[in-house]
């Protein structure tokens, strides 16, 4: 439940990958968040409450994600069928497909640009930056994500979410530290007066970052052990890919050798061994916590 809930409300960091293409992004992104977040929350809460209210008291225990058109498992489909008949079911399917396609399009757009950024930093092959004739869409990155989605969509939905959520939570754990570092690199006093910043000064940034990290760590430790192990392998493959691509393409050193010198002994950036070691320790610690939680609760 925690994994699914977080998954439903995650993904907003994808906006950062595309913020450079927004007009006046520092203001419009914050303004968009203030409008979108309440609407998104209500779009989850209100339909669910309305559907549950349409059934007799106590039937909420039958609500599940394994069905929707079954008499044994309640879902949006069964409620629409009961209230609006067959036409309601068709309407529900059309709306559901349209909404999921819309969400998927946003991931295609943001994910393909993440590949672009890696390639621009000389940490990924250059062919991933190929764009269409209009010069607007990195179609190679889009096709790469599409093919990957076709493969992973063959797996069980819950298993995919529980594996994916570990990636997401790991990212959110580190986002807090990144925010605190960015606050030091770009002090609020040096930013435009009307630019959105996290409130509460230094204390606010620390509190929000620690809370996010704590929630992410707790949810990570509740993930089923087999899914956690699978995700750890995926994360480890990212480290291996970085080492390979750094040596092959040169990384940031190619464009700025003085600002990003290379460690002669490893061929990696200075401090990479320490960072990789720290990453391994964090992963090992999370694995032990996950193992303990699974023993205690599962």
Hey, where are the domains in the chain?
85-154, 222-298
- Which parts of 43-110 are beta strand (E)? none
Task: Kindly give the parts of the chain with pLDDT less than 50.
Answer: none
User: So what's the pLDDT on residue 37?
Assistant: 85
- Other Cβ atoms closer than 10 A to 149: 13
Residue 240 · residue 248 · CB < 8 Å: no
User: So what's the pLDDT on residue 261?
Assistant: 92
Q: What is the pTM of this model?
A: 0.70
pLDDT tens-digit profile of 207-238?
Answer: 888 888 888 888 777 777 777 777 778 778 88
pLDDT tens-digit profile of 134-174?
Answer: 767 888 888 888 898 888 888 887 777 777 777 777 777 77
Q: Which among 162, 171, 175, 273 has a CA at the least distance from the CA of 225?
A: 162
User: So what's the pLDDT on residue 244?
Assistant: 93
Residue 89 · residue 77 · CB < 8 Å: yes
**Six token digits for residue 175:** 């986002």
């Amino acid at each position: 439940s925690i994994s699914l809930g977080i998954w439903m409300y995650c993904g907003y960091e994808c906006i950062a990958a595309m913020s450079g293409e927004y007009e006046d992004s520092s203001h419009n992104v914050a303004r968009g968040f203030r409008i979108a977040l309440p609407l998104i929350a209500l779009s989850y809460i209100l339909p669910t409450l309305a559907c549950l209210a349409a059934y007799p008291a106590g039937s909420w225990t039958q609500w599940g994600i394994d069905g929707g058109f079954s008499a044994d498992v309640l879902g949006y489909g069964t409620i629409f069928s009961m209230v609006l008949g067959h036409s309601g079911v068709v309407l529900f399917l059309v709306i559901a497909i349209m909404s999921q396609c819309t969400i998927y399009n946003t991931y295609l757009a943001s994910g393909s640009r993440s590949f672009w950024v890696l390639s621009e930093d000389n940490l990924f092959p250059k062919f991933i930056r190929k764009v269409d004739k209009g010069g607007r869409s990195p179609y190679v990155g889009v096709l790469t994500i599409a093919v990957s989605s076709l493969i992973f969509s063959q797996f069980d939905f819950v298993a995919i979410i529980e594996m994916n959520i570990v990636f997401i939570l790991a990212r959110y754990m580190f986002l807090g530290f990144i925010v605190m570092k960015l606050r030091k690199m770009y002090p609020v006093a040096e930013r435009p007066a009307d630019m959105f910043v996290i409130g509460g000064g230094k204390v606010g940034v620390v509190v929000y970052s620690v809370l996010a990290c704590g929630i992410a760590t707790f949810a990570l430790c509740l993930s089923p052990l087999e899914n956690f192990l699978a995700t750890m392998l995926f994360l480890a493959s990212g480290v291996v890919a970085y080492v390979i691509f750094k040596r092959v393409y040169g990384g940031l050193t190619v464009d700025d050798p003085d600002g990003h010198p290379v460690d002669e002994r490893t061929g990696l950036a200075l401090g990479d061994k320490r960072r990789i070691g720290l990453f391994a320790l964090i992963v090992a610690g999370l694995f032990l916590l996950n193992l303990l939680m699974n023993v205690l609760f599962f």
